[in-house]
A = this chain, B = another copy of it.
Amino acid sequence: MSPRKSAAEARATRGRIIDRGIAIASVEGLEGLTIGRLATDLGMSKAGVLGHFGTKETLQLAVLEGASAVFVRAVWHPAEDAAPGLPRLRALCEAWIGYLEHERAVFPGGCLFTTASVEFDARGGRVRDAVARLSRVWRRRLAAELRQAVAAGELPADTDPEQVTYELVGCYLALNQELQLLADPEAPARTRRALDRLLAPAAADHSR
């Protein structure tokens, strides 16, 4: 017997559903993502789409997980080769700008985490919990890298990692808004200027 193709094919179909779901949810939100729309886009029946997930909530969680993988690939992986501390922080922040500016094919409506964060921030449920968890994980990553930069003497000793993390997140929320809502081409340059100040090396601290 040749190996059954159905299991691998099912996995491939599931991947196609998730990729399309990410694109739709980026524009319409995770609630605006409907099973009927997915089925039409993919040339499938609604039951065929839903069969892979069972419920819409499970589909939403799978789409969120898929988007997380995209974020890791686009922002985290390119920075992994940089030295820990400030060099890696700068690499992460530059990749983060590129992710918001250029991943239009994957996220035509902008960063799905920003969309989902605002969409679910006043609700309960597993999707909201997953969004909050991903947000906390990313903030902890940034704070850990900031602590390492402080310990290495690359950032001023009185730097508050949580404070800088908060300001970094704010910069990227503003960048997403200027790119998506206001279509302002100067937004990436403004983000880089803000980063230059937030991540100014310790040696330059008293000179500005």
Footprint of B on A, CB under 8 Å?
26-27, 29, 31-32, 108-110, 114-115, 117-123, 128, 131-132, 135-136, 160, 162-163, 166-167, 169-175, 177-178, 180-182, 186-187, 190, 193-194
Contact = CB atoms under 8 A, between A and B. Distances in A.
Contacts of A173: 170, 173-174, 177
A166 B181 contact: no
Contact of A171 (B27, B136, B167, B186): B167
Contacts of A171: 167, 170
Residue from A114, A160, A166 whose CB has the most chain B CB atoms within 10 Å: A166
Interface of A is mostly: helix
A151 to B, nearest CB: 21
Nearest to A160: B193
Given A110-B121, A123-B27, A166 B178 contact: yes
Contacts of A123: 27
A121 B170 contact: no
How many copies of this kind of chain does the complex include?
2
Given A136-B182, A170-B171, A174-B170, A118 B115 contact: yes
Given A31-B32, A135-B181, A166-B190, A119 B118 contact: yes
A117 B177 contact: yes
Given A110-B122, A118-B119, A162-B190, 11 more contacts: A29-B119, A115-B119, A119-B119, A121-B181, A128-B181, A132-B181, A135-B177, A135-B181, A163-B190, A167-B174, A170-B172
